Structure 1
Amino acid sequence: MVEQIPALLGGDRRVLARMITYVENDGEGKEALLRELHPYTGKAYVIGITGSPGAGKSSLTDRIITELRKGDYKVGVIAVDPTSPFTGGAILGDRIRMSDHYLDQSVFIRSMGTRGSLGGLSRATKEVIKVLDASGCDFIIVETVGVGQSELEIMTAADSTLVVLTPGAGDSIQAIKAGIMEIADIFVVNKSDLAGADRVVTEIEVMLDLGGYKKGDQSWRPPVAKTVSINGKGVDELVQKVKAHRQHLEKSGRLDQERQRRLKAEVSEIIEERIKEMIRQQLGRSGQWNDLLEEVVARKIDPYTVASQIIKEELWKRSTP
């Protein structure tokens, strides 16, 4: 795959599709590929779209793509679908709502299953973002699963996070409280042609007045946009708000700061995952650990002591020449 990087940089869509599949399936040379792609990343602006199921995220994404294409931007889309815990399959149907862009060579849409990952994203989402970034996308839109208050992971991948709400979907205060409230850079009241839309806007504004700005950034008050994705009403104003947030981040220096923070967090995640895999392999090979686990079951030793012993011995082996 590494040898196909020049074709990717040249805009070859087939190579792009193959690389995404390769990364998503955890191909043997994935790390080498991502290592070589790293210098070509960091240029695309990532927009995260989250919210409850049925809020119209896919239809809204379709309208945002249309608006961005008016500016001749190259757009990549990652639509994350839930994976069945029983069959392991996913419908991957979000692209049906974006069919108007199939023939547009400057739009690339990819659906991905969560494959058991919590937080609204697939495990490979961040890696696929890098591939799309290197391919020359100006904007990358990541649409999350839509699982309510648990999908906070999007804030670790997106530069601007849009939280989509709808009138008539129950208690909107319940929907926007806690984490969801804090991750939003822009609130979107979709289906605003329905009764109750203005009430939702008012409730959001009241909550904002009480505090809850993202990451303590008191210089940016998340605006509220009203849209109707079925006909595109208000989407142009929404895109302008996204661009205004980008300008704010760039002017204040927070864009670079947040991206640096995310890269540092990514390094920590990789280290943690490798340590976990190292321990898992050791546990699978050694009968000694199985004996210790049996002692835990028999209440002869506690789990914390066993965990400490495994870590110390494994790290000692790795550090000893």
Structure 2
Amino acid sequence: MADVAALVARAREGAPRAVARLISLVEGASPQLREAMAAIAPHCGNAYVVGLTGSPGVGKSTTTSALVSAYRAQGRRVGVLAVDPSSPFSGGALLGDRVRMGEHASDPGVYIRSMATRGHLGGLAWAAPQAIRVLDAAGCDVVLVETVGVGQSEVEIAAQADTSVVLLAPGMGDGIQAAKAGILEIGDVYVVNKADRDGADATVRELNHMLGLGEARQPGDWRPPVVKTVAARAEGVDEMVAALDKHRGWMEERGVLAERRAARAAKEIETIAVTTLRRRIGELRGGKRLDALAERVVGGTLDPYTAADELVEGVTEG
């Protein structure tokens, strides 16, 4: 069993091994997870969480790496959660080596962790919210969450980030894909990467046009900017960081940041509660109570709503 208090103390000092072990407790749903979350709770709430999403091939990893370099140049500590597809064999992250972020591997001011989605729709590991808390408590000023591009489910990143960045690239039909996926509704900053390709300006115009067709904004509302970058050459990255800083300032000024974080915490609490209830329902199934209710419904002696009420009572007793 891990000494949770000692782990948290070392993680607060920035020890990579301690941070890694705490995130492993999260991923493994360890019995010590509750103790760990209680220990880090007083140290959370300082990190700025930026989510990056977009279709495969737009350069999310390259952009994330360029952002790390830009933030490190400002002296900020950075955590990266790279959420990858799960291996069908081991359940681990297929892209766990993160070759493109290798340049930051020896930097003590950067912590990079790959996490597997484990089949979770939306491209986010179920453990991501708690992992973000660990990085926050470990003193990261910025946490970058890079998600798998999985079409319409990409929108889930909006529930985990203070600021959501949607990446697109010219020549990939991304404008149409953005409209189909609904990501025009969740992006706070839009980035057209690989802007040295033909069609970049047209993609920017199309994006701005589509954003302009959205619901009417009141004076002072946030208007998502569209930034052009060539992340592989670090071109436009400073403008991207400036757009992120501007959005953070706007949110702080209007109380939006506090609202988003409260909503995120509410969703996290709900997820934990539902997971606990599902486990208890599974235990009831093992005890034949659920099967007995199902037989009564099939036999017509009980309606499914009353059966569900009885099940909930059984689950919440004690």
Asked whether the 8 Å contact 2:228–2:236 carries over to 1, the reply is yes
Give the deviation of 1:195 after TM superposition: 1.0
**Higher mean C-alpha displacement, 237-246 vs 20-29:** 20-29
Moved more, 171-180 or 61-70: 171-180
Deviation for aligned residue 1:267: 2.2
Compute the TM-score of the two structures, normalised by the length of structure 1.
0.91
Q: Which moved more, 1:38-47 or 1:152-161?
A: 152-161
Which of 182, 185, 194 is the aligned partner of 1:182?
185
SS in 1 for 2:253: helix
Aligned residue identity for 1:99: G
Report what 1:154 is aligned to: 157
**Alpha-carbon distance change, 193 to 261 in structure 1, aligned in 2, over 3 angstroms:** same
Q: How many residues matched?
A: 315
Give the match for residue 242 of structure 1: 244
What does residue 289 of structure 2 align with? 288
Q: Which residue of 1 aligns with 2:145?
A: 142
How far apart are the structure 2 equivalents of 1:171 and 1:38?
A: 39
Shift of the alpha carbon at 1:62?
0.6
- What's the CA shift for 1:153? 1.6
Gapped runs of 5+ residues in structure 2? none
Q: Name structure 1 gaps, 5 residues minimum.
A: none
Query: Which residue number in structure 1 is paired with residue 227 of structure 2?
Result: 225
- Higher alpha-carbon deviation: 19-28 or 160-169: 19-28
The 3 A distance-change label for structure 1 pair 210 and 187 is same
Structure 1 residue 38 displacement after superposition? 0.6
What is the CA–CA distance in structure 2 between the aligned matches of 1:7 and 1:288, rounded to whole Å? 46
Give 1:261's aligned residue. Answer: 263
Query: Structure 2 counterpart of 1:39, which letter?
Result: P
Query: Residues of 1 paired with 2:15 and 2:153: CA distance?
Result: 36
Once the two structures are superposed, what CA deviation does each residue of 1:181-216 show, in whole Å capped at 9, x if it has no partner? 1110000101111111111111111111112589x9
Q: What fraction of aligned residue pairs are identical, expressed as a percent?
A: 45
Distance 1:36 1:218 in 2: 39
Say if 1:92 and 1:113, in contact at 8 Å, map to a contact too.
no
1:7-18 matches, within 5 Å, as 7-18=10-21
- Does the C-alpha gap of structure 1 residues 21 and 89 become closer, same or farther in structure 2, counting only changes over 3 Å? closer
Alpha-carbon shift at residue 107 of structure 1 (Å): 0.5
Q: Distance in 2 between matches of 1:55 and 1:184?
A: 15
Distance 1:22 1:232, change over 3 A: same
Q: 1:33 aligns with which of 36, 47, 69?
A: 36
- Within the candidate set 52, 73, 79, 1:70 is matched to 73
| Residues in 1 aligned to 2:191 and 2:281: alpha-carbon distance in whole angstroms | 44
* Structure 1 residue 314, shift from structure 2 partner: 3.6
When residues 282 and 165 of structure 1 are mapped into structure 2, their CA distance, relative to the original with a 3 A threshold, is same
1:118-149 C-alpha deviation (Å, 9 max, x unpaired): 11100111101000000000000000011122
Over 3 Å counting, the alpha-carbon distance change for 1:301 and 1:87 in structure 2 is farther
Shift of 1:165: 0.6
Query: RMSD of the alignment, in Å?
Result: 2.2
CA distance in 1, matches of 2:240, 2:120: 30
Give the counterpart letter for 1:186 in structure 2: V
* Contact 1:48 1:155 (C-alpha < 8 Å) held by counterparts: yes
Counterpart of 2:112 (choices 104, 109, 118) is 109
The offset of 1:95, in angstroms, is 1.6
Structure 1 residue 27, shift from structure 2 partner: 1.2
